[in-house]
Structures are given as structure tokens and as C-alpha cells.
């Protein structure tokens, strides 16, 4: 694994994973805090309810003791009667009950834990306007199990709300990120190169798209900065030739002979062709190339190109074979399509040793595949990815300088193919020739 790959993974995967883990930890902490708060609130509410119930039972026992004392006139029979009724009245929920005489020190009866009138919430027993004793009653028992349902419900509710809010937040946060990734991928993708814009919200996708965009911007900046130098290089030679011949004629004060005029005409034509090719290439690359489409019979178009280049092939001793069904038709600009095929067949003839094969067939249901192959030396592996670059003419046996080429033919052919919604590819094995494949849609809506 390369260092760049490791850095890309560290930059995209690790922060994203750490962010997700941090979000989960925060959600769990929030759920625990909510559960603790709910438990505390439940315990407090139950305590308050117990206090109110204790007050109610205390008043109930006080009224009962007062009524019993009024009937009996003393505490002794009251204590005996209440002792007999204690087990029955304990079902009310009383956990402790105590009665003291008026001095507060002599107990009449005591059940449960009691500490005297001063220790608890003792109520005076009043009969005929005087205090005859004190009663104290407390409610007891374990906390209601229902109190533990509050924290459980709070934990589940908080966790669910946190997950829902996190999902909504991630979706909202990913929306601009997804838009950035998609736009970056669209800008980074070169039309017709088989690249598509990503639609995922993963930060790694956005970073990858931005990396590809930065790479393409760098590549385009390199092309832009070198274009002027390339054009100047291509124009320098014909301009120097023309200037030298014109200066010589001016110094000699004589008219240019026909052979010199022919040479100047050739150089002028070469410069005009360079300017025209650059203009066509620029229009195609910017997507502003106008196509005059109509239905074309591929056998006729390919046959016309083969016939036009037949003399050159015959002079070089190259046999050109054409195989295209008559019924095969494409909706395309015949002029641009013909220029593509001329470039491909012309290059094949110039670099073949004995034979060139041109074929066309239907690929799938809606695409046409045109193949041009030769039996030449082929293209070296390191040069194959660059054969469609502008001004690139290679250094091997297929180099075009000796043929007077400018290195724009294949670049223009590829852009014309892309403008038609198709693609142009090259394949080769050294010493076994080269194969150029043009694939076009039968019909493409503009």
C-alpha cells in the first residue's frame, strides 16, 4: 500500500469512524444522565407520596385512638382493643404505630420502630379539650417497582431521540457534502472517459472527488501553460522557412521562382491546418462543437475513406480490407465521423507492414463498434496512454515526425468521438501491431 493511499485512508476513514464513535458515546452519556435524572425524580415523587400517605394514616390512627379513649375513659382498655385490632389494621399499610399517655413517656402500645413523641411526627390525642396522649404512625415498605420504569423509559426515549436526531443531523450535514462531492466529481470527470459523478455522502467520496478535481485542474493548468509553447514550436519552422525565402527574394530584388512559391504555399497550408485543427480541438474539448447529424450508412462512409486512401496504401504495398454490413447505420455528423476514420486508417496505413483491417459491427443493441487494426510494430506500453494527447508523436517506430504529422490527429479524433457520445480506445502489443476501437451510439439525443 502506498503512502498516498495510507494518507487518504487516514484522512477520510479514521476521522469519520472517530466521529461516529464520539456520537455514540455522547448518545450513551446523554441516555445515562436522563436515566439518572428520571430515577431521582421518581424516587422524590414516591417519597412525597409516602409522606402524604403517612400524614393520612397518622390522622386516621389519631382519630381512632381518640374515639376509643372517649368510650373507655382510660388508655388501658384502649391499648388492649387496639392490640387486638393491630394485625387487621396493619393491612392499611402502617409499618409502625405507637401511643403514649399524656406525659409522653408511658407507652400504651408500640409496634414497629418508634422513638417517642419527640422523635417522630406524633399527634396529640385531644378529648374534651385536653391532651390525653400522643399517637405516631408511619407508612413503610420498599419503593414501588414502578419507580424504576421511569429511568428505563427515559434511557430508551433519550437513546431513540438521540439516534433520530443524529440521523437527521448526519443527513442534513451530508447534503451539502454530497453536493460538493457530486459537483467535484462532475468537474473532475472528463466527458466520455467513463467517469461518473459520485452520489455518496461518505466523506471519503468527497475527498476522493476533490483529489481528482485537483489532479485534473493541475493537468489542465499544465496543458494550458504548455499549449502556447507547443503552438510556437509548431509555427516556428514554417515561419522561419517563409521568412528566409522572402528575405532572400527582397535582398536579391528578384521574383520568387515557382518552386519557391510552391514551398511557401505548402508552409502556409501547414500553418492553416494547424490553426484549424487547434480551433476544432478547442471547440470539441469545451463542448461547443456543432454537429450536423443525419443518418449515415457505415459501409458507404468507411468504403469512401478506404477508396480515398487506396492510392497511398498501394504505394506503400499495404492491403486494406473492409468488412461492414450494408444495413448498419448511425445517426451522426458524417464529416466529423469521416475525419475520425481518416485519421485512424491513415495512421494504420503509415505504420502497417503489409495489411490493415477495417471493420464495423453492431455492439449490443444500440452501439456501433468500428475497429481499425494493422500488423505494424505496435505501440510501446509506456507510450500507449499518451497516444491521444495533443502534439504527442512518440519516439518509437510509430512516431509521426518523419511523416510531417503535428500530433493532433488522434487527439481530435478522440474529442470527435466524445462529442458524439462515444469513445475511442487504443490497444497494442509490441511487435504485433495496434488496434484502435471507435464505439458510437446508433443514435444519441442532443
Q: How confident is the model at residue 256 (pLDDT cuts 50, 70, 90)?
A: confident
pLDDT of residue 214: 81
- Do residue 116 and residue 44 come from a single domain? yes
Among 337, 357, 334, 308, smallest CA distance to 412 is for 337
d(CA 82, CA 336): 116
In a domain, 429, yes or no: yes
DSSP state of 125: E
In a domain, 195, yes or no: no
Q: How confident is the model at residue 286 (pLDDT cuts 50, 70, 90)?
A: low
In which domain, by residue range, is 115 found?
3-143
- Do residue 58 and residue 77 come from a single domain? yes
- 202 burial (CB, 10 Å; 0-12 / 13-18 / 19+) is middle
Average pLDDT over residues 261-284: 77
In a domain, 280, yes or no: yes
- Do residue 271 and residue 327 come from a single domain? no
Q: Which residues of 206-217 are buried (b: 16+ CB within 10 A; e: fewer)?
A: bbbbbbbbeebe
- Where a domain ends, among 143, 175, 209? 143
- Do residue 305 and residue 236 come from a single domain? no
Q: Where are the beta strands (DSSP E) in 105-219?
A: 107-111, 123-127, 130-139
pLDDT of residue 264: 82
**Is the confidence at residue 403, as pLDDT, over 90?**
no
- Do residue 416 and residue 360 come from a single domain? yes
In a domain, 199, yes or no: no
**Is the confidence at residue 421, as pLDDT, over 80?**
yes
Question: Which is more confident, 59 or 189?
Answer: 59
* Max CA distance (Å), the chain: 161
- Do residue 405 and residue 306 come from a single domain? yes
Query: What does pTM read for this prediction?
Result: 0.50
CATH code of the domain in which 406 resides: 3.30.565.10
**Is the confidence at residue 5, as pLDDT, over 50?**
no
**Is the confidence at residue 179, as pLDDT, over 80?**
no
d(CA 418, CA 414): 6
**Is the confidence at residue 125, as pLDDT, over 80?**
yes
Mean pLDDT of the chain: 76
pLDDT of residue 271: 78
In a domain, 8, yes or no: yes
Q: Dump pLDDT digits (tens) for 65-121.
A: 888 788 878 877 777 777 766 666 666 666 677 788 877 777 777 776 655 565 556
pLDDT of residue 328: 92
pLDDT of residue 401: 38
In a domain, 303, yes or no: yes
**With contact defined as beta carbons under 8 Å apart, do 173 and 167 qualify?**
no
Among 337, 350, 326, smallest CA distance to 421 is for 337
Among 285, 62, 80, smallest CA distance to 193 is for 285
d(CA 285, CA 385): 18
With a pLDDT cut of 70, the percent of the chain lying above it is 70
**Which segment, 194-198, 240-244, 335-339, 396-400, is predicted with the most confidence on average?**
335-339
d(CA 226, CA 391): 10
- Do residue 274 and residue 316 come from a single domain? no
pLDDT of residue 353: 92
- Where a domain ends, among 116, 143, 170? 143
Q: Dump pLDDT digits (tens) for 133-168.
A: 888 777 665 556 665 666 777 667 777 776 777 777
Q: Dump pLDDT digits (tens) for 426-437.
A: 999 888 899 999
Considering its fold, how many domains does the chain have in total? 3
- Where a domain ends, among 143, 159, 193? 143
Question: Which is more confident, 355 or 184?
Answer: 355
pLDDT of residue 8: 42
- Do residue 388 and residue 415 come from a single domain? yes
In a domain, 260, yes or no: yes
**With contact defined as beta carbons under 8 Å apart, do 406 and 345 qualify?**
no
Q: Which helix (H) or strand (E) holds 433?
A: none
**Is the confidence at residue 3, as pLDDT, over 60?**
no
In a domain, 103, yes or no: yes
- Do residue 16 and residue 73 come from a single domain? yes
pLDDT of residue 26: 76
- Do residue 275 and residue 345 come from a single domain? no
- Do residue 300 and residue 424 come from a single domain? yes
242: Cβ contacts below 8 Å, ≥ 6 apart: 264, 267, 268
- Do residue 257 and residue 299 come from a single domain? no
236: Cβ contacts below 8 Å, ≥ 6 apart: none
Q: Dump pLDDT digits (tens) for 14-45.
A: 555 666 677 677 777 777 777 777 777 777 77
d(CA 249, CA 240): 14
pLDDT of residue 18: 65
Average pLDDT over residues 162-189: 70
pLDDT of residue 423: 92
Amino acid at each position: 500500500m502506498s503512502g498516498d493511499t495510507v494518507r487518504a485512508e487516514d484522512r477520510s476513514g479514521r476521522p469519520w469512524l472517530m466521529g461516529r464513535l464520539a456520537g455514540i458515546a455522547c448518545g450513551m452519556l446523554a441516555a445515562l444522565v436522563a436515566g439518572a435524572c428520571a430515577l431521582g425524580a421518581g424516587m422524590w415523587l414516591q417519597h412525597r407520596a409516602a409522606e402524604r400517605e403517612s400524614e393520612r394514616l397518622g390522622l386516621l390512627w389519631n382519630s381512632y385512638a381518640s374515639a376509643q379513649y372517649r368510650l373507655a375513659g382510660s388508655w388501658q382498655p384502649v391499648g388492649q382493643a387496639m392490640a387486638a385490632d393491630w394485625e387487621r389494621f396493619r393491612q392499611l399499610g402502617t409499618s409502625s404505630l405507637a401511643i403514649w399517655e399524656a406525659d409522653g413517656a408511658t407507652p400504651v402500645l408500640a409496634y414497629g420502630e418508634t422513638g417517642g413523641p419527640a422523635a417522630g411526627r406524633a399527634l396529640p390525642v385531644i378529648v374534651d379539650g385536653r391532651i390525653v396522649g400522643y399517637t405516631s404512625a408511619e407508612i413503610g415498605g420498599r419503593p414501588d417497582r414502578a419507580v424504576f420504569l421511569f429511568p428505563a423509559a427515559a434511557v430508551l426515549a433519550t437513546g431513540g431521540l438521540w439516534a433520530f436526531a443524529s440521523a437527521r443531523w448526519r443527513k442534513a450535514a451530508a447534503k451539502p457534502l454530497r453536493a460538493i462531492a457530486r459537483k467535484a466529481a462532475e468537474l473532475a470527470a472528463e466527458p466520455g472517459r467513463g467517469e461518473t459523478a459520485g452520489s455518496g455522502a461518505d466523506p471519503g467520496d468527497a475527498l476522493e472527488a476533490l483529489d481528482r478535481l485537483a489532479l485534473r485542474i493541475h493537468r489542465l493548468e499544465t496543458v494550458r501553460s504548455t499549449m502556447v509553447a507547443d503552438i510556437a514550436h509548431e509555427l516556428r519552422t514554417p515561419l522561419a522557412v517563409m521568412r528566409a525565402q522572402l528575405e532572400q527574394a527582397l535582398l536579391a530584388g528578384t521574383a520568387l521562382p515557382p518552386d519557391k512559391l510552391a514551398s511557401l504555399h505548402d508552409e502556409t497550408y501547414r500553418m492553416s491546418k494547424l490553426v484549424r485543427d487547434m480551433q476544432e480541438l478547442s471547440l470539441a474539448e469545451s463542448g461547443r462543437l456543432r454537429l450536423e447529424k443525419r443518418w449515415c450508412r457505415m459501409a458507404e462512409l468507411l468504403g469512401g475513406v478506404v477508396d480515398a486512401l487506396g492510392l497511398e496504401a498501394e504505394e506503400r504495398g499495404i492491403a486494406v480490407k473492409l468488412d461492414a454490413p450494408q444495413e448498419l447505420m448511425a445517426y451522426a455528423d458524417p464529416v466529423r465521423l469521416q475525419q475520425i476514420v481518416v485519421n485512424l486508417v491513415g495512421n494504420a496505413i503509415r505504420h502497417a507492414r503489409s495489411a490493415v483491417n477495417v471493420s464495423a459491427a453492431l455492439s449490443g443493441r444500440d452501439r456501433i463498434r468500428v475497429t481499425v487494426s494493422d500488423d505494424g510494430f505496435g505501440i510501446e506500453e509506456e507510450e500507449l496512454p499518451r497516444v491521444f494527447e495533443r502534439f504527442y508523436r512518440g519516439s518509437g517506430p510509430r512516431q509521426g515526425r518523419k511523416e510531417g504529422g503535428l500530433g493532433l490527429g488522434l487527439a481530435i479524433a478522440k474529442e470527435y468521438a466524445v462529442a458524439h457520445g462515444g469513445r475511442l480506445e487504443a490497444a497494442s502489443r509490441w511487435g504485433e501491431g495496434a488496434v484502435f476501437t471507435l464505439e458510437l451510439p446508433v443514435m444519441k439525443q442532443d
